[in-house]
Amino acid sequence: MTVEVFAPAKINLTLHVIGRRTDGYHLLDSLVVFARDVGDVIHVEAADRLELTVEGPFRKGVPTDETNLVVRAARHLQSLRAVQAGARLRLEKTLPHGAGIGGGSADAAAALKALALLWKVPPPTPAETLNLGADVPACMAGPAPMRMRGIGERLDPVPPLPPLWLVLVNPGRHVSTPRVFSLLGSIRGADALSMDEMRMGWDFEAFHAWLSGQGNDLTACATEEVAEIGHVLEALRSSPGCRKADMSGSGSTCWGLFKSAAAAHRAAETLAHDYPQWWVRMTAIN
């Protein structure tokens, strides 16, 4: 038996940092969406012990030992459900890593879902995966859009979104998440605001008007660290049909919002041609 599970890219359309706990963890408020057809793929099959292999264009530098979040997630599920069996896991890595689109977390969530099917055990709840990382619960609960709060443990459904198309662009530069958060206070100041409430029945224009009033509190910090993020955002905002552009997570992947698939497709083609060193993908969101 072989089980295959898609691990879609996770995109933060908003990201507000609204506080910090005494243990140092930052409190977030974010609208999270998932790419319909851009992501990694996990394959699992029965084996005597846990094994991980990685292939694909972004396999370089991805560990296959216990430091990989996929392996840690598998060990976690074994412990949670008292599983004695092993598994052979194969990861097709097509998402850039350390890119702010939840690649490692999406892979871990996909592995948990696949292994639960293989081992015939209940998959862990999102709350049972928080110790694996702040984005893992959301990736477990996806791919429906959701509001993520706290340190990733508060997940709530949001009103249905209108059809949206995104162009994702990564300049090929890694951003240190701890460094970005360390810069937050000095760059943004103390104006911590929660995400504005969402309403039912929005069409594209109403959603765009709401989204235009939001933002990512980490964009300025990440751009301070990696100037290429600013170049990516400028290129996206200059693309015909792009209605808004911002960064996802702590970077360095950025997104541009488009009203039509045709406009998004043209923009992605142009950006990929003009900046061949960048990773560029077009997607709809689920």
Rounded to whole angstroms, the Cα distance separating 189 from 280 reads 32
CB 188 within 8 A of CB 217: yes
CB 33 within 8 A of CB 145: yes
- Alpha helices by DSSP H, the chain: 69-81, 103-119, 136-141, 177-188, 204-212, 219-225, 228-237, 261-274
Beta carbons within 8 Å of 100's beta carbon, 6+ residues apart? 12, 175, 247, 248, 249, 250, 251, 252, 253
Q: Give the residue numbers marked as catalytic.
A: 10, 135
Tokens of 137: 């619960």
Among candidates 11, 19, 32, 12, which has minimal Cα distance to 190?
19
Binding-site residues from annotation for ATP: 96-106
Q: Is 171 exposed, middle or buried (0-12, 13-18, 19+ CB in 10 A)?
A: buried
Binding-site residues from annotation: 96-106
